[in-house]
Chains A and B, each alone.
Chain A
Amino acid sequence: MARATTPRRKAFNTALAWAVGLVIFFPILWIVVLSFKTEGDAIRPPLEVLFDAAWTVESYGVVQERSNYVKHFSNSVIIALGSTVLGLLVAVPAAWSMAFVPSRRTKDILMWMLSTKMLPAVGVLYPIYLIFIKLGLLDTRTGLVIVLMLINLPIIVWMLYTYFREIPGEILEAARMDGAGLREEILYVLTPMAVPGIASTLLLNVILAWNEAFWTLNLTAANAGPLTAFIASYSSPEGLFYAKLSAASTMAIAPILILGWFSQRQLVRGLTFGAVK
């Protein structure tokens, strides 16, 4: 029995929800608008910006010249993808064995892994900094790939574990009865069922790594800095810079915004460690 909603009520809900949604989205919308204006126009009152000022793409070119967007973008891609893929390589076997061959200690291990995620980064900042200097990892992409892999590893293991646990064990027994060996079991039965979970985990963790802004700010300089650091270089203003800042911001968030919209569900599961689904 679906509840009947009057058209009036629905129209009211729609208007209210759109208004609220647009208010929340406004800062993002506004930087996209400003990024297509000249510096002089970008600081005019909002209505003039919208209706009076010409549209241009010149800021995008300036940003690339001034702070080499392409280099920082590729750093972000390498660091986010590298750390996530590396994390998956380590986590898939672990989550797999915990989901399919659970022992008495599985739960304790999972909880302990979660607890490492709670360690405040600032508490271990100097040791990591020191280790990085000693190993020559400061301001290298390799160093960041390793650190981001480690900080996201608990989330990766947990997400995979909750996905793998949903694969029914009976299906394995059925495969065994049909004469499948361990190799066939993994290759033809489990892998196809696990791929969606692995893909979701990949997606969410790429987003988390892309936006990570403690280690990326503190462990990089000019060389390996991803987009988080590229943007921070705009924190000391130099004359008019709204259009440039907007263009740089738009370019930094656009790729991940698009990925993010595909990952709403995974976000809930991944960040609540399966506690809310």
Chain B
Amino acid sequence: MPEATASDSTSDGVQIDLFSGNRMANLTSMEKIRLILDGVRDGNIVILEEGLSPDEESKLIEVTMAEISPDEFNGIEIETYPRSQTADQSFLDRLMGRQSTQKLTVIGPANQIQTLHKDENLISALVSRK
């Protein structure tokens, strides 16, 4: 599984944390959100192999808003491929609110990551140093 962490906080580089689906699977929603925001607030780029559920994305936006602070933290830039059509799901999945979340997701500090291009198959982003 692609699980790797490049950590060298003393360099001028940008740290990228790539979290496998297995690593995230046992965390609660708030633990996932905390993991993401703690990393992003340290200036890291966080990549999730399997993304978040819609409910977790909703809570991530809420918690991010609560943490925005002038001249300190402007929020996050988050990119996933466009979600596939719900028509892909079975009726039972839709009835139960289950939705596939297996979408590679890239999250970074809003002032350090800029999306250059995005379509159904490609996310191109420019990452700058702190």
A binds B: no
A residues whose Cβ falls under 8 Å from a Cβ of B: none
